[in-house]
Amino acid sequence: MAKSSKWQMSTNLIANIVSFVSALFISFYTTPYITKHVGMEAYGLIGLAQNFTNYVTIITASLNSMASRFIVIQLHKNNDDEANKFFNSALIANTLCALIVILLSVIMIPNLNHFINVSEHLLPDAKATFALTFFSFALSLATSVFGVVYFAKNRIDLGAWRTVESNIIRSVLLVITFVFIGVKIQYTVAVTLISTVYTILFSVYYTYKLLPQINVSVSNFHWNKVWTMVKAGIWNSIGKLSHILLNGLDLLITNLFIGGAVLGCVSVTKTFVNLIISLISTISDVYVPKFLKAYAKDKESLNTEFLASTKLLGFCSCVIISVFLVYCQTFYELWLPGEDAVLMRNLTYISLASIFVSGPVYAMFSIYTVINRVRPQAVATLITSVISTGTVFLLLKFTDLGVYAIVGVSAILGAVKNLTYNMFYLRKYAGINLKRSYVIILKNIMIALICTVINMCIKSFISITSLVELAACIMVAVLVSAIVFFVLGIGYDEKKAMLKFAATKLKLR
């Protein structure tokens, strides 16, 4: 790998991690403040509103999941004419979809209480929250194609740093709003909308600066290009539907069948589990430009890059999950005093099941799009999700599992699918070494369990009474887990190379 390529990949990774930490920082400080002033039920409505916009992406995923692929490939081929046609076709089609979203929201929101269960005193706030969430989504949808620039130029770091800045803006505006205006759930969404506009403006700016060959023009809109992208990505829409049936209905089903404070507990745990998945996903995204380049050569190159990605993803998933398993209940007790920490801990454990087993091979989800083979995987996910949804309703009717059925069934079936069908699928279409991938997964699970046991032993000797003490313990746990992974998860040659690199850097200083 060229030095510049290594440097850019490192820069992309660091930027993505900082972006993740900034988002985590906001959730960490705002969630307890909001739940204290408006209650867990009201807080749960924010996540529920976001889930409704996710339902819309079932339709738009067929276009947007493949738009970047077609545009980037044409740019790499120096075929600017075709790249412009795909770009403008996606832009205008997305804008039309965004207008439809706004129209549907105008119809739905005045009758919101007919779609979800919401307390009478929260109804005005809920309507405002849903209205702002839908508008923010429509705006992001209309301009989403401008984000292609970060992949086309392998400058994911630019988008990540702008996200960090938007998170800082969001934090400042939240403080100002809460202090001088008051605490309302719709204010949180309004501030998010402002930060979203900030990142959109920079995406447009970078497109014009880094991709001068791309020009916005209605004359470059072609229905056949839209159809080409939709046809290639239709199974991504089915996959999105499957994903929502598998994981995205948790809040809605909880609202309809259980409701109250439990909705807030599910929303809180989903927020943090999704942050973990988002971190793993953003690290995985760093490898997408390399996957595209490798696939343009041959399957063997793609297999090499995929296996290389498992080291970093394995390390991150191992460290993060082992720390969460040990300290999540303590965290919830100190972070949200008075709430049901045991319930949130159990829901967190269950929700992490899928990422626990598939963390090191998470990049497989990016490869589906790279090789343009999403249909078989989408069908498998659809079958799994239908079974999951049906099972949840049966368990709610005939057992007392309640929220554990809602969260648990999808997590367990998702993990099983990732370990079975997805792996065989990658071997068939992408030439991924199946045996080696399973060895990596099993090894990572064993290392994560070892890290968890060691950190639990350390925790048993410590009394944690504040978030500051918890933060110190978490830092120790991260260090311990990193050392364990270095000893057990990395080969001799890799250890030698890393130590040599560290020694060289120390000498330079």
Query: b/e per residue, 65-79, with b = 16+ CB within 10 A?
Result: bbbbbbbbbbbeeee
d(CA 192, CA 441) in angstroms, rounded, equals: 37
Query: b/e per residue, 248-259, with b = 16+ CB within 10 A?
Result: bbbbbbbbebbe
Q: What's the pLDDT score for residue 49?
A: 79
Q: What is the mean pLDDT of residues 392-414?
A: 86
Q: Residue 1: which pLDDT band, with cuts at 50, 70 and 90?
A: very low
Q: What's the pLDDT score for residue 3?
A: 44
> Which alpha helices (DSSP H) does 338-433 contain, by range?
341-351, 353-358, 364-370, 375-398, 403-419, 421-430
Q: How far is CA 191 from CA 3, 39, 171, 202, 365, in A?
A: 40, 20, 9, 18, 31
Q: What's the pLDDT score for residue 456?
A: 93
Q: What's the pLDDT score for residue 7?
A: 58
Report whether pLDDT(2) > 50: no
Q: Where are the domains of the chain?
A: 22-248, 252-509
Q: What is the pLDDT of residues 123-178, one digit of tens each?
A: 888 898 889 888 988 888 888 888 878 777 777 777 778 888 888 888 888 888 88
104 token code pair = 């549907």
Closest by alpha carbon to 196, among 221, 227, 159, 231?
159
DSSP 247: I
What is the pTM (predicted TM-score) of this model? 0.67
Q: What is the pLDDT of residues 440-456, one digit of tens each?
A: 888 888 999 999 999 99
d(CA 136, CA 188) in angstroms, rounded, equals: 12
d(CA 127, CA 79) in angstroms, rounded, equals: 47
Q: What is the mean pLDDT of residues 107-121?
A: 83
Q: Residue 220: which pLDDT band, with cuts at 50, 70 and 90?
A: confident
Q: Residue 16: which pLDDT band, with cuts at 50, 70 and 90?
A: low
Report whether pLDDT(207) > 70: yes
Backbone angles phi, psi at 211, to 5 degrees: -125, 65
Q: What is the pLDDT of residues 19-56, one digit of tens each?
A: 667 777 777 777 777 777 777 777 777 777 777 777 77
Helix 288-295 with 40-76: angle, nearest 10 deg: 30
Contact 342, 329 (CB under 8 A): yes
Counting residues of the chain whose pLDDT is more than 70, the rounded percentage is 87
The three-class DSSP label of residue 474 is helix
d(CA 441, CA 416) in angstroms, rounded, equals: 13
Q: What's the pLDDT score for residue 304?
A: 79
Report whether pLDDT(502) > 80: no
d(CA 135, CA 200) in angstroms, rounded, equals: 14
265 token code pair = 């507990």
- Where on the phi/psi map is residue 338: left (φ > 0), alpha (ψ -120 to 50), or beta? left
Q: Residue 265: which pLDDT band, with cuts at 50, 70 and 90?
A: confident
